[in-house]
Structure 1
Amino acid sequence: MTVRSVSVVVVTWNGLDLTLRCLDSLAHQDAGGRDVDVVVVDNGSTDGTVAALGAREDVRLVALGRNTGFAGGVNAGVAATTGDVVVLLNNDAVAEPGFLDRLVAPFDAEPGPDAPRLGATTGRVVLSGRFRPAAPGEPGLVDHAGRTWARTGDDTGARLLNSTGNEVTRSGNGRDRDWLADADGPAAPAAVFGFNGGSAALARAALEDVGPLDESLFMYYEDTELSWRLRRRGWVVAHVPDAVTVHDHAGSSDSGSAFFRDHNERNRLLVALVHAPVPVVARALTRTVVRACLGPERRRRAGALATVLRRAPGALRRRRAVDRAARVPRSQVAALLVPDGAPA
């Protein structure tokens, strides 16, 4: 298709300074001659975001008045726009020059008659700041190999990646591909399981085909869940390495909070129940049950597991609905799953 119009959706909740920085980076983008509209969906902020953004002429504000989560915010933004392609950008990210044009450009290509349909592209997300290997016992970010990285606080150290798209492991764990890999290393392959919801472009035709983000997840795993549905309907996802954003990891949320851990654990299991092969579901459940019985924070983990069990009948109904609508067998999509490393 030829992309004539692009709608950019930014979801925010009490992050005015970050959001203003994000919007400033979008204001200087070259969109390759395409029409662009920028929509900010506010999830009930109380920090003056609505008043501040309402005064800007370069964005359109959708004020929801309550926190609907990332999925609800994105869906409201998609419903309020008409672009051929919808770009999702985290409010705590900065788009580097050329990001918008490069992320959208692959949709202009004319595929052959037997080529898979491009449903989404996903950019190269670089973490803000620089990092060094952490000393023993020093806190930091843990990569997929179990190594810990600490911020340097200055211009020394390595630049590290946040994401080159999403992948799913054989125990149902969704995670960022290339998490904490060298940002100055070789570009990652274009082929990737799914898109990162903080730096992605979605074909509106694909969204109309598979449906919106799952608002019952509220936050976390929404992009992985939608990637499963895209794949089952025959849409593919492509990584665009030269579409770059710089991201303040957890700048608008706390990845160490109980809220994050509860939703992450709950949603990992629910998404596996809907989409993954039975052996993957079994491994995911076993891992959680063991941790709920023997690991730290047993009470919290048991509560998350109880929520999953209550919602399991609905997840299994969705599983059957996805299977009925599928064009691609589950086994073919599951061939894209990767081995488990250290938990992401």
Structure 2
Amino acid sequence: MNDDGLIGLLLNFRDATRSARCVRSLLDEGVPRVLVWDNSADEGVSASQLRDIFSSDPRVIIEVSANNLGFAMGVNRSIRLATERLGASTVLIINNDATLMVGALRALRGEAAARPQAAVISMDIDHAGTRGGVQFYQRLSGLLFARPVAGTFSYASGCCLWIDMRRVPLPLFDEAFFMYGEDWELGWRLRQMPGMWIHLPSLLVSHEGSASSKLGSTFYETHMVAAHLLLARRLGRSATEAVFLSATRLPVLLARAVLRSMRYRSLRPLRALGSGARLAWRRLG
């Protein structure tokens, strides 16, 4: 996997400060160009702030979306722009609230050269002080695990991914997912294509986590419920199995909502059960 046409890619949502810090970390590591897809839908205010910061740096390209497309669609659109208009052959996707650690690009280049058959490379990430690598999603319950257990499949966080555009099937993410869950679905698809995804067990990224949507917020709780229900439909090999997998998630989602309502002393997680289910239904429609 050759990175001669490497472009860094991140989405910005009304947070020029974090996005600028992320961009600088990419440039400092030697990423030759960085594309910022502005999802802010704030009449160009956030994009203007970023342009002011990088006005004298031609390596930074800022593209403004008229609407907030969400993560999956925003990444897919920016990948299309990077490949069709900017000539990218390799894309390094990174969350705007994350930064590359020193030596990250060198490590990724080395792994790409050593494993030319791979289309996707993930890496260990420091999530606000907790190291995370490959994670596991249980198909029946929707529970997440740090180690493989019965009935799970592996996936990598979408926080930072090295993508060889010449090998990866496009679109990269399922656009039914607005935010959260698209990395689970990607893991399920890559599981069916052996050798396409490899994980580099080196700590290369520092991630603040949930900067654009606060944990416990109505947005977070609603979209997380929707993500689990959407994925149940994607994991089903038939309509009957999809309904069954949706049903098996309901007790888990209810228990999760009760525990989170107690933790945050708020009814938002419980209310999100209904709003998340309705959102999933609309997204599937």
The structural deviation recorded for 1:41 is 0.3
The equivalent of 1:224 in structure 2 is 184
Counterpart in the other structure of 2:65: 64
Match of 1:168 among 94, 114, 137: 137
8 Å CA contact 2:76, 2:171 repeated in 1: no
Q: 2:257 and 2:71 mapped to 1: Cα distance?
A: 30
Q: Deviations over 1:200-226 (max 9, x none)?
A: 11121233x343312221111112212
Match of 2:248 in 1: 286
Matches of 1:125 and 1:26 in 2, distance apart?
A: 15
Q: 1:89 to 1:176 in 2, by over 3 A?
A: farther
**The structure with more radius of gyration:** 1
Task: Confirm or deny: 8 A CA contact 1:8 1:87 kept in the other structure.
Answer: yes
Q: Distance in 2 between matches of 1:295 and 1:63?
A: 36
| Counterpart in the other structure of 2:100 | 95
Of 9-18 and 251-260, more deviation after overlay is shown by: 251-260
Q: What is the CA-CA distance between 1:51 and the residue it aligns to?
A: 1.1
Q: How does 1:254-293 map to 2 (within 5 A)?
A: 254-276=214-236, 282=244, 284-288=246-250
Q: CA deviation at 1:248?
A: 1.0
Aligned equivalents of 2:245, 2:164: Cα separation in 1: 33
Offset at residue 291 of structure 1 (A)? 5.2
d(CA) in 2 for partners of 1:25 and 1:169? Answer: 34
Match of 2:75 in 1: 74
Distance in 2 of aligned mates of 1:127 and 1:311:
29
Contact 2:35 2:61 in 1 (8 A): yes
Give me the whole-angstrom Cα distance separating, in 2, the residues matched to 1:311 and 1:240. Answer: 33
Q: Name the counterpart of 1:301.
A: 273
* Structure with greater helix share of residues: 2
Q: 1:80 to 1:289 in 2, by over 3 A?
A: same
Deviation at 1:232, TM superposition (A): 2.2
What is the CA-CA distance between 1:236 and the residue it aligns to? Answer: 3.3
Amino acid at match of 1:86: V
Structure 1 residues 293 and 66: CA distance shift in structure 2, 3 A: same
- Per the alignment, residue 150 of structure 2 pairs with none
Q: CA deviation at 1:298?
A: 4.8
**Aligned-partner Cα distance in 1 for 2:156–2:253:** 29
The correspondence of residues 11-50 of structure 1 with structure 2, limited to 5 A, is 11-30=11-30, 36-46=32-42, 48-50=45-47
Taking the aligned partners of 2:282 and 2:48, their CA distance within structure 1 comes to 40
Distance in 1 (alpha carbons) for counterparts of 2:189 and 2:250: 24
Check conservation: 2:25, 2:100, Cα contact below 8 A: yes
Cα offset for 1:39? Answer: 0.2
- After superposing the two structures, state which structure 1 stretch, 71-80 or 299-308, moved more: 299-308
> Deviation string for 1:49-97 (max 9, x for gaps)?
2113224223100111221111122112211113222111111112111
Further displaced range: 265-274 or 287-296: 287-296
Amino acid at match of 2:107: R
Which of these residues, 158, 164, 169, is aligned with residue 197 of structure 1? 158
User: Offset of 1:48 from its aligned partner?
Assistant: 3.6
Q: Is the 8 A contact 1:196 1:223 kept in 2?
A: yes
State how far apart, in whole Å, the 2-side matches of 1:63 and 1:294 are. 37
2:217 partner letter: S
Contact 1:168 / 1:174 at 8 angstroms: preserved in 2? yes
Rounded Cα–Cα distance in structure 2 between residues aligned with 1:171 and 1:74: 28
The residue number in structure 2 matching 1:51 is 48
**TM-score, reference length from structure 1:** 0.66
CA distance in 2, matches of 1:110, 1:246: 24
The 8 Å contact of residues 170 and 280 in structure 1, kept in 2 or not, is answered as: no
Alpha-carbon distance between aligned partners in 2 of 1:118 and 1:19, rounded to the nearest angstrom: 28
Task: State the TM-score, normalizing by the size of structure 2.
Answer: 0.78
Aligned residues: 259
Q: Residues of 2 paired with 1:118 and 1:53: CA distance? A: 33
Residues 104, 261 of structure 1: CA spacing in aligned structure 2 closer, same or farther, 3 A cutoff? farther
Counterpart in the other structure of 1:339: none
